Amino acid sequence: KIGGKGLFVKEIEDALLRKEVDLAVHSIKDVPAELPDGLILPVYPEREDPRDAFISCSYTSLGDLPAEAKIGTGSLRRSSQILNMRPDIQILPLRGNVDTRLNRLETGEMDAVILAAAGLNRLGLSGKITELIPADTLLPAIGQGALGLEIRKDDNKTLEILSFLNHRPTELAVRAERALLKRLEGGCQVPIAGFAVLEGASIILKGMVAELDGSLMIKDEIRGPEDRPEELGTALAERLLIKGADRILEGVYGNKTG
């Protein structure tokens, strides 16, 4: 509410450009598709679990929830996909850090909450996870579970130091996902999801755009050679737009994306 998810990313990027710091470590799903001039994201460490985690004190899985159950989430992407599957579910807004969110579940205010598995794993809270939701059921956010190391474009010394951390399959997958996001001009106000995996020498990329209430969901997937991640992301975005995602985005942003 005080500036969107890119606000803190921008502060760090400003420090990079002023040469106050030489390296920024980001959660990729928080980084806007367009980087400021002079900055690059050349290094992607191996991705954590990209899936969403279902957490409940009373129910074993998302499919086990009773009619009109209450789920807490702060993600439009998650809520739209859940409502598409289960229009009866009540979505309650969930904000704050992980402990705050888990505490709201434990008070009985909600039947379940959904959080990123990666964040729980990194905090040593994987034992709290009731179910890891398959990516085919709940398509992850662009870059979910991945970190990106951002540096100045001309800083070859820092790049040389960091390059050993790069995990090529993660890099290719995230580049494809971010190209999808860039073409869709996606922001926080619209449910967009994208998830890529490397299979042999091919990238398989899945994408989704949905209405906020889940009443309409546009999904598609594409496969192509690993050396063309950006082309694949852009091509899948075009297919989603042709299938009706353009109307969803126009309704949210009030302008055309094409």
pLDDT value of position 71:
95
pLDDT value of position 188:
59
With a cut of 70, say whether residue 248 has pLDDT above it. yes
For 109-139, what is each residue's pLDDT tens digit? 899 999 999 999 999 999 999 999 999 999 9
For 16-45, what is each residue's pLDDT tens digit? 999 999 999 999 998 988 999 999 999 999
With a cut of 70, say whether residue 257 has pLDDT above it. no
Alpha-helical regions (H) of 69-220? 76-85, 98-106, 117-122, 156-162, 168-184
pLDDT value of position 186:
66
Indicate which residues carry an active-site annotation: 30
For 78-91, what is each residue's pLDDT tens digit? 999 999 999 999 99
CA dihedral 165, 171, 172, 175 (to 10 degrees): -160
Are the CB atoms for 114 and 229 separated by under 8 Å? Answer: no
**With bands split at pLDDT 50, 70 and 90, how would you rate the model's confidence at 58?**
very high
The rounded Cα 95 to chain-centroid distance in angstroms is 16
With a cut of 50, say whether residue 245 has pLDDT above it. yes
Q: What is the DSSP letter of 65?
A: P
- Taking the C-alpha atoms of residue 225 and residue 135, their distance in angstroms, rounded to an integer, is 22
**With bands split at pLDDT 50, 70 and 90, how would you rate the model's confidence at 2?**
very low
pLDDT value of position 108:
84
pLDDT value of position 101:
85
